[in-house]
Amino acid sequence: MKTAILGGGLTGVTLARFLAGKGEEIVVLEAEPVIGGLCRSRQEKGFCFDTGGSHIIFSRDEEVLRFMLSVLEENRAVRKRNTKIFYKDRFVKYPFENGLSGLPKEDLYFCLNEYVKTLIAEEKGELPPVKNFRDWIYSTFGKGIAECYLIPYNRKIWNYPPERMSAHWVEGRVPRPPVEDIIRSAIGIETEGYTHQAVFSYPEEGGIEALVRAIAAPVMDRVTCGFCVSHIRKSCSGWEISDGARTVFAERLISTIPLQNLIPALEGVPERVQQAVSSLRYNSVCSVFIGVKGSVPDISWLYVPSPDIGLLNRVSFPSHYSTHVAPEGCSSVLAEITYNEGDPLTRMNDGDIIRHVVNSLLAMGLIRNEDVIYTGIARHRFAYVVYDLDYLANISVVRKYCEETGVDLVGRFARFEYLNMDGCIRNVLEYMGRAQ
């Protein structure tokens, strides 16, 4: 049986590797000139940047983590996380609840007092029911941590009001911090949150795309790039997939591409399914690359919740991940901005966006203007899945239709779930288990 895999990003090439390993005939159809999807990297003038925003390799899933590290073999560096939040002109330890002692005293009291009050209210059963993501933040962290950091940051990264987002996806993803850790943090005793990413890996050479290429290496001869799927027709013998010039025939179809690209290509999709897909929300990402002479602050990555600093929500420092992603004596900075069509960013040209980001970095004291020797920019239309209040109803309609039609959906934008790299690979393993 021949299987056609739509999309040559991390999910698509991982699927191809495992299916080919079982002796199956496969073809991967990728729209872009190169594989990688959100995990592509750009190398220019001695610098290497991940175009889909900063990526690191970590996971609670030991099986998936072993797989990622094993395919990289010797091409990996190991680093200890040193992550901060830029809050009121100071660098506060991340996660925010583990850095409370770094806050102004009034803010520290506000966060600690409200956390304890919320904990007591929960024990008494006095918390109102959680109806949305905003409610979940308040009932989990208290009003102080919510209003000082989590609400403004999440409003910025999701580019959508938290009160209009579902809370179903976050339970279990972000744990309630133990009260002991909150108190220790408040009085200045070191505590660590999100310990599964406290130590992370990254390719020594090639950026995060090196991981995708290592996974794809055994099946690259079965990958066709530049194949933008425009029409998919189901016949009695299987599937006909066309890009307008070429047609591929396959008995099985697995999609890892965004539903917004898949559904319009399928023949005869009912109006209700088309409407459900058009109602699914997502964010795009704009990544701005800055190369500088000399060093940058000893920070892995930095969260920027305040809108006053600029449009950017996260700043990372790839030259701290590997010594081979910047020329000798130089460092690199990557700033990310999430946006939607029609936002102010879409009315700015590349030069305006770069200047805006450079000014934000200067305002935070992260770089000096005279040290900037390289700038670049990249955009990805599909970056983050946004779980609005209608998400569960809409995605149910789409998945049911695809299941009934015989299209298998795997990965971040095919499943339309907020999956990290390890989640995409776990999704592949789960699919392989079901397909046996």
Give the tens place of pLDDT for each residue, 35-68. Answer: 999 999 999 999 999 999 999 999 999 999 999 9
Q: Maximum distance among all alpha carbons in the chain?
A: 70
Rounded mean pLDDT of 78-92? Answer: 97
Determine contact, residues 321/202, Cβ cutoff 8 Å: yes
pLDDT at 370 over 80: yes
| Residue 150: closest CA among 77, 113, 212, 97 | 97
Determine contact, residues 289/276, Cβ cutoff 8 Å: no
Residues 272, 398: Cα–Cα separation, whole Å: 9
Phi, psi for 284 (deg, rounded to 5): -95, 165
pLDDT at 349 over 70: yes
Determine contact, residues 383/159, Cβ cutoff 8 Å: no
CATH fold of the domain at 2-38+206-280+389-435: FAD/NAD(P)-binding domain (3.50.50)
pLDDT at 413: 97
Ramachandran category for residue 158: left, alpha or beta (phi over 0 → left; psi -120 to 50 → alpha): alpha
For helices 10-21 and 209-216, give the axis angle rounded to 10 degrees. 20
Ramachandran category for residue 18: left, alpha or beta (phi over 0 → left; psi -120 to 50 → alpha): alpha
pTM beyond cutoff 0.75: yes
| Residue 76: closest CA among 88, 67, 87, 85 | 67
Distance of CA 365 to the CA centre of its chain: 26
pLDDT at 399 over 70: yes
Which amino acid type is present at position 399?
A: R
Distance of CA 145 to the CA centre of its chain: 23
Tokens 């895999």 map to which residue?
5
The structure tokens listed for 215 are: 């996974």
Q: Of 4-18, 158-172, 210-224, where does mean pLDDT reach its minimum?
A: 158-172
pLDDT at 172 over 70: no
pLDDT at 175 over 80: no
193 or 154, which is more confident?
154
- pLDDT by residue (tens digit) across 270-325? 999 999 999 999 999 999 999 999 999 999 999 999 999 999 999 999 999 999 99
pLDDT at 224: 98
What number of residues does the chain have? 436
**pLDDT-derived band at 435, boundaries 50, 70, 90:** confident
- State the average pLDDT for the chain: 96
* Helix spans in 74-132 (H): 105-123
pLDDT at 412 over 80: yes
From residue 125, alpha-carbon distances to 112, 118, 121, 146, 236 in Å are: 20, 10, 6, 20, 58
Q: In sequence order, what are the residues at sequence separation of 6 or more whose Cβ sits closer than 8 angstroms to the Cβ of residue 323?
A: 77, 204
**pLDDT-derived band at 88, boundaries 50, 70, 90:** very high
pLDDT at 156: 97
Name the residue ranges covered by the structural domains of the chain.
Answer: 2-38+206-280+389-435, 96-193
Instruction: List, in sequence order, every residue forming a beta bridge with 49; answer none if it has no partner.
Output: 42
**What percent of the chain has pLDDT above 90?**
93
Q: Of 192-206, 340-354, 386-400, where does mean pLDDT reach its minimum?
A: 192-206
pLDDT at 436: 66
For helices 62-72 and 209-216, give the axis angle rounded to 10 degrees. 90
Q: What angle do CA 55, 58, 62 make, to 5 degrees?
A: 145
pLDDT at 342 over 70: yes
DSSP states along 331-397: EEEEEEEEE-TTSGGGGS-HHHHHHHHHHHHHHTTS--GGGEEEEEEEEEEEEEEE-BTTHHHHHHH
What is the torsional sign of CA 269, 273, 276, 277? negative
